[in-house]
């Protein structure tokens, strides 16, 4: 018995906070996959447990920093003053899927952006994007100009600038609140990826979708851990966790959210949602290209004080994403 007791006491529980529903891809695929990687890499010495109901997604950064939980993830757009460089991957017309964008996001962060220390107090173990952000509405539209004045939930980041250019009335709220807000008529629509037609059950309330080619933006997320938790581990286990994170975790998360988009589209179509799959030469797409002119330069100017060669980083990010296989 004493041998078994010593084994049990040697196990470390790594507590992960998740703010999306248990049925969401992040919780059915991303965390379980990484948990298995961690447990295998540490030969069972570190066990990952996911916990729910711990607050607004923007508070996850502080929860991990303060050691309330050991790891989490969040959307950078929820904390706009802190995270600015991460909007690089969100700039319109990247034209790739989430996996390619996520790998580029990680590589460019490591090469250029980490030195700006926007994630101060956290150990960044992954960066990813959701799939292309699309227009999901209660009522149909025939032109982007019809969005002017509509109440649209925006999650922050580049969505804010796009919404401003469209003339929408921006409404802030965490993604899990969108269903209720749309159901109650608080908002007319949301900019969000197709994964949430299924993951957040928006197929029941957002019965009209305009899916632009490549979407409007790619939402930026980070996955992070408490540095003290990592440092308290046996060095071998600390390194084992980092070895199954980084680009490997980033790519897997992006890939999972891509698969979620396919499931979301299928669920929407099965539920009879009016999904307009816009082609590159359609009027919707051309409107959007015109609408977003100058956004690169505006972004570069907005982060001039961060001490990073943003123009080179943005160019390289696009090259990495567009050539990723």
CB 22 within 8 A of CB 176: no
- The pLDDT, as a whole number, for residue 21 is 93
Q: Are 161 and 292 in contact (CB under 8 A)?
A: no
pLDDT digit string (tens) for 240-249? 999 999 999 9
Residue with the bigger pLDDT between 5 and 242: it is: 242
Task: Report the distance separating Cα 274 and Cα 218, nearest Å.
Answer: 22
Q: What is the mean pLDDT of residues 89-105?
A: 97
Give mean pLDDT, residues 107-121: 97
Looking at residue 49, what is its pLDDT? 98
Residue 125 CB-density burial (10 A; 0-12 exposed, 13-18 middle, 19+ buried) = buried
Tell me what pLDDT residue 223 has.
98
Question: What pLDDT sits at residue 157?
Answer: 87
pLDDT at 80: 87
* Distance (Å, whole) CA 138 – CA 218: 22
Answer whether residue 261 shows pLDDT above 80. Answer: yes
What is the chain's length? 325
- Return the pLDDT at 51: 98
82 band by pLDDT with thresholds 50, 70 and 90: very high
- Alpha-carbon separation of residue 216 from 162, 213, 287 (angstroms): 8, 8, 11
pLDDT at 4 over 60: no
Arithmetic mean of pLDDT, 112-128: 98
Residue 325 — pLDDT band, cuts 50, 70, 90?
confident
Each residue of 206-229: pLDDT tens digit?
A: 999 999 999 999 999 999 999 999
**pLDDT per residue as tens digits for the range 270-308:** 999 999 999 999 999 999 999 999 999 999 999 999 999
What average pLDDT does this structure show over 12-24?
A: 96
Residues in contact with 258: Cβ distance below 8 Å, sequence separation at least 6, in sequence order: 97, 98, 99, 131
Q: What is the predicted pLDDT for the residue at 284?
A: 96
Rounded percentage of the chain residues whose pLDDT exceeds 90: 95
The pLDDT of 122-140, averaged and rounded, is: 98
Give the torsion through C-alpha atoms of 99, 153, 151, 292, to 10 deg. -40
Mean pLDDT throughout 18-34? 96
pLDDT reported for residue 135: 98
**Mean pLDDT confidence for 54-80:** 96
- Per-residue pLDDT at 7 exceeds 60: no
Residue 5 has pLDDT above 50, yes or no: no
Helices vs strands, H then E, count in the chain: 14, 10
Is the confidence at residue 156, as pLDDT, over 90?
no
Q: Is the pLDDT of residue 128 over 60?
A: yes
């Amino acid at each position: 018995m004493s041998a078994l007791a010593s084994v049990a006491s040697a196990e470390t529980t790594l507590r992960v906070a998740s703010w999306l529903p248990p049925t969401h891809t992040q919780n059915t695929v991303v965390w379980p996959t990484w948990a298995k990687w961690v447990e295998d890499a540490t030969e069972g010495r570190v066990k990952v447990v996911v916990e729910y109901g711990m607050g607004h997604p923007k508070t996850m950064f502080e929860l991990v920093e303060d050691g309330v939980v050991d790891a989490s993830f969040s959307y950078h757009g929820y904390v706009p003053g802190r995270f600015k460089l991460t909007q690089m991957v969100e700039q319109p017309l990247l034209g790739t899927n989430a996996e390619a964008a996520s790998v580029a996001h990680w590589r460019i962060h490591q090469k250029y952006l980490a030195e700006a220390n926007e994630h101060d107090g956290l150990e960044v173990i992954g960066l990813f994007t959701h799939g292309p952000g699309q227009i999901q509405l209660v009522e149909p539209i025939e032109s982007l100009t019809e969005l002017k004045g509509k109440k649209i939930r925006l999650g922050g980041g580049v969505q804010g600038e796009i919404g401003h250019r469209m003339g929408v009335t921006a409404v802030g709220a965490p993604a899990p609140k969108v269903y209720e807000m749309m159901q109650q008529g608080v908002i007319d629509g949301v900019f969000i990826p197709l994964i949430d037609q299924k993951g957040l059950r928006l197929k029941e309330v957002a019965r009209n979708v305009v899916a632009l080619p490549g979407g409007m933006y790619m939402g930026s997320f980070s996955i992070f851990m408490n540095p003290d938790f990592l440092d308290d581990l046996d060095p071998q286990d600390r390194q084992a966790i980092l070895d199954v994170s980084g680009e490997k975790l980033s790519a897997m998360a992006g890939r999972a959210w891509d698969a979620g988009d396919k499931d979301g589209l299928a669920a929407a179509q099965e539920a009879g949602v009016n999904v307009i799959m816009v082609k590159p030469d359609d009027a919707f797409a051309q409107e959007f290209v015109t609408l977003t002119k100058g956004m690169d330069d505006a972004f570069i100017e907005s982060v001039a004080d961060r001490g990073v060669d943003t123009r080179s980083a943005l160019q390289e990010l696009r090259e990495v994403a567009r050539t990723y296989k």
